[in-house]
A and B are shown apart, each in its own frame.
Chain A
Amino acid sequence: MNRRVNQASLPDPSGHFDIFGGRYVPEALVAALDQLDAEFTRANADPDFWAELNRLRREYSGRPTPLTEVPRFAAHCGRARVLLKREDLNHTGSHKINNVLGQALLTKRMGKTRVIAETGAGQHGVATATAAALMGLECRVYMGKVDTDRQALNVARMQLLGAEVVAVESGSQTLKDAMNEAMRDWVATVDDTHYLIGTVAGAHPFPKIVREFQRVISTEIAEQMTERFGQLPDAVCACVGGGSNALGTFADFIDTPQVALYGFEAGGDGVETGRHAASIQGGSVGVLHGMRTYVLQDADGQTMDSHSISAGLDYPGVGPEHAWLAATGRADYEAVTDTEAMAAFQLLCRTEGIMPAIESAHALAGVMRLGQRLAVEQPDATPLIVACLSGRGDKDVATAISYFGLPGHPDLYTGGQA
């Protein structure tokens, strides 16, 4: 459709990105969404708010995060020079803290005392529990039963931080069901509770607010690239589940057409198998969790189960701004399979000594594919590609042990036992 819309003006005041986004929610939540939108607008214009958030980013979270060039990994990416935006080096181990600190400050400004959150891999839940501990807020995290089983380490981390973790046993028992349960909680507790959504999804104003708190990723990339290379990157890449690290990586570049934007969705066993979580590549336009966007749905509009080795990308929808960026052609979205992602996971470990989250490994696999493709299309060019390394892989070690069939015992024994 290629219509020209200035991204800075989106979403429109009613929360739409053209046909996407909006508010498909129970009336009971509208007052809280309006309150949140008004508070964000006030805070956004308040230098004291940003001073406090920037102080926390610097002194608590550890920003700015480094931009690390990875030449041994890039040897597998055609002729590209590859740099990783190290969101994995944030406190709590992922980009999720960027959004959580902002929303927790908003919670305090609204005079609310309790936060609830949904989490898939547990990264957002851990970040929320962390901010709640820091700011003295009560915290409950909803997590699908399938995910509490496969991410037991993060469940324990949240509990150690003082949060209550609820395993959601309805539906597919994954991220989407955790969101449903968090919504049900919020409908009943909206007076004193803020629903701290972890991604650029849900009803307006969440997609806008989360984007603005994640925007720092692209702002820093632009500064670091300009300082080091005297130019912006040729392309930026990120994995896309709900899409918060990707939108943070894209935000400052959306109105700069010379920077190509690539989002890599979870292709699971392959989009053609139907067992995947690639809502843009393999879904259709519908309504889910308060927004109009691309959804994995059957002929009747029932949400279909998504499949991905990565709990954090295992979601049958996507943020509405991504739907808009895809529909307008401003960003390109491709699917990366479990197999490709795990190969990239292992490659980054072995070539650079960096263990990525499996979510982020989807972006790495995408960079390998993109770099190799560009080497064919533009054989004389040396493109500069930045990929967002959204999280670290410690939480995924159990998955990796089982995927790679690691023996779980040392490789050799010295002998010498009595």
Chain B
Amino acid sequence: MSVTSSAAAISAARASGRAALIGYLPVGFPSVAGSLAALSTLCGADGSSEGVDLVEIGMPYSDPVMDGPVIQRAGTRALARGVRTTDVFAAVEAVRAAGKPAVVMTYWNLVDRYGVDAFARDLANAGGSGLITPDLIPDEAGEWLAASDAYGLDRVFLVSPSSTDERISMTAQAARGWLYATAVMGVTGTRSASSDAAPKLVERIRSLAPGLPIGVGLGVSNGDQAAEIGRFADAVIVGSALIKPLLVADDAGTPEDLSGLRTVVADLVQGVRR
């Protein structure tokens, strides 16, 4: 496995005795250039923090059924402002230039339309580590399994508290890199408290697929929650909480203002180091 793979970033954090921090931002919001600047801040390239360990770049989609209102709003604006599928490769390159590995999170039709093999090729060429596929389960993933094999890309599938043991095992078998465990039954978005479903699910995955790193996401909003989840997960995934300050800046007519994002990133970076 190549050194840039997303799993390597998770193991490196583990080696230093903490959970990895994975941050999600969509390409194209507040603009393509603005999203590249925000991704750079997320990576800590502006010196404001050590940055996240791994970046998850979201591709805005017209029908994001796994996303709550915050990510929907950012995605809708990105699409209205003209973001295209090919912009995601520039975002991957920007993250790589900032010294961090990148995975892309995308609904399947965008990859299907681009051409699965062509997408895998261009993602690998841009330096991307792999894909998180919220609406592609291994049962339908034949073409992606082949393309990700051909280009050495990680394939991160989701598992949920409702997944049976049999499906967790099957999904872990099909995955490469790590598994995305959804902490709650629901869509993305910050919540005041994470549920106890998450530690139970992580425990189940560990017994069924020992050794496969597990990232936990959905509902993580601050450093305290990141610290709490970091105690049982290999990686903590944060999305909506990072986008909220960008939406506030965009609404205020100052989309270039990244100060709110810096504060949230610093708090989360601290959280996983507690």
Q: Knowing A30-B163, A300-B84, A301-B112 touch, does A24 contact B187 (C-beta < 8 A)?
A: no
B64-98 interface bits toward A, Cβ cutoff 8 Å, 1 = contact, 0 = none: 11111000100010010000110000000000000
* B65 neighbours in A (Cβ, 8 Å): 26, 180, 183-184, 187, 289
Choose from A31, A170, A187, A301 the contact partner of B114 (Cβ within 8 Å): A301
Q: Select the residue from B65, B167, B187 with max chain A CB neighbours within 10 A.
A: B65
Q: Is B164 an interface residue (CB 8 A)?
A: yes
* B184 neighbours in A (Cβ, 8 Å): 188
Contact check, B109 vs A295: say whether CB atoms are below 8 A apart.
Answer: yes
List B residues 152-211 near A (Cβ within 8 Å): 157-164, 167, 171, 182, 184-187
A4-41 interface bits toward B, Cβ cutoff 8 Å, 1 = contact, 0 = none: 00000000001000000011111111111000000000
Contact check, A302 vs B61: say whether CB atoms are below 8 A apart.
Answer: yes
Contact check, B63 vs A180: say whether CB atoms are below 8 A apart.
Answer: yes
Interface size classification for chain B: 35 or more
Bound state CA distance, A297 and B135, in angstroms?
18
* A26 neighbours in B (Cβ, 8 Å): 65-66, 134-135, 158, 160, 182
Contact check, A287 vs B109: say whether CB atoms are below 8 A apart.
Answer: yes
Closest Cβ of chain B to A279, distance in Å, is 14
Closest Cβ of chain A to B94, distance in Å, is 20
Bound state CA distance, A188 and B64, in angstroms?
15
Chain B minimum-CB-distance residue to A182? B65
Closest Cβ of chain A to B89, distance in Å, is 13
Contact check, A32 vs B72: say whether CB atoms are below 8 A apart.
Answer: no
B106-125 interface bits toward A, Cβ cutoff 8 Å, 1 = contact, 0 = none: 00111111100000000000
Q: Is A303 an interface residue (CB 8 A)?
A: yes
Contact check, B62 vs A302: say whether CB atoms are below 8 A apart.
Answer: yes
Closest Cβ of chain A to B237, distance in Å, is 15
Contact check, B159 vs A27: say whether CB atoms are below 8 A apart.
Answer: yes
Question: Which B residues form the contact surface with A (CB < 8 A)?
Answer: 61-68, 72, 76, 79, 84-85, 108-114, 134-137, 139-140, 157-164, 167, 171, 182, 184-187
A sample of 15 more A-B contacts (CB under 8 A), given A23-B137, A29-B162, is A22-B139, A24-B109, A26-B134, A27-B159, A27-B167, A32-B162, A170-B76, A180-B65, A184-B68, A188-B187, A300-B85, A300-B114, A301-B112, A302-B62, A302-B110
